[in-house]
């Protein structure tokens, strides 16, 4: 196997994890502004966090249902296309 074969994919995946972490930490910065602009109480403002992290759970349940019914989608489309599909879905 070529020594540098995995360098570019590693850089891309590292960049993606940085982006996901940055977006996650931006929620904490965004919440006080949302409270102020929309006059939200604490519970309503925390629903932003609930929706953000709840989406991971809902996505996992949907993935599980698809996998149980039709087989693993990642095995069908491949890891590279799976990452691209995930990025397109999140954009």
Q: Per-domain residue ranges for the chain?
A: 7-90
Cα–Cα distance between 44 and 38 in angstroms, integer? 10
Q: Which value, to the nearest 10 degrees, does the dihedral of the CA atoms of residues 21, 26, 31, 33 take?
A: 180
Q: What is the pLDDT of residues 33-54, one digit of tens each?
A: 999 999 999 999 999 999 999 9
Q: Rounded to two decimals, what is the model's pTM?
A: 0.69
Question: Could you tell me the pLDDT band of residue 80, with boundaries at 50, 70 and 90?
Answer: confident
Cα–Cα distance between 36 and 42 in angstroms, integer? 11
């Amino acid at each position: 196997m070529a020594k540098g074969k995995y360098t570019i994919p590693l850089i891309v995946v590292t960049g993606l994890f940085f982006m996901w972490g940055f977006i996650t930490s931006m929620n904490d910065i965004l919440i006080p502004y949302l409270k102020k602009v929309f006059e939200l109480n604490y519970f309503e403002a925390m629903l932003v966090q609930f929706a953000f992290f709840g989406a991971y759970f809902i996505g996992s349940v949907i993935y599980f249902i698809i996998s149980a019914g039709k087989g693993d989608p990642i095995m069908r489309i491949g890891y590279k296309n799976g990452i691209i599909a995930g990025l397109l879905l999140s954009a």
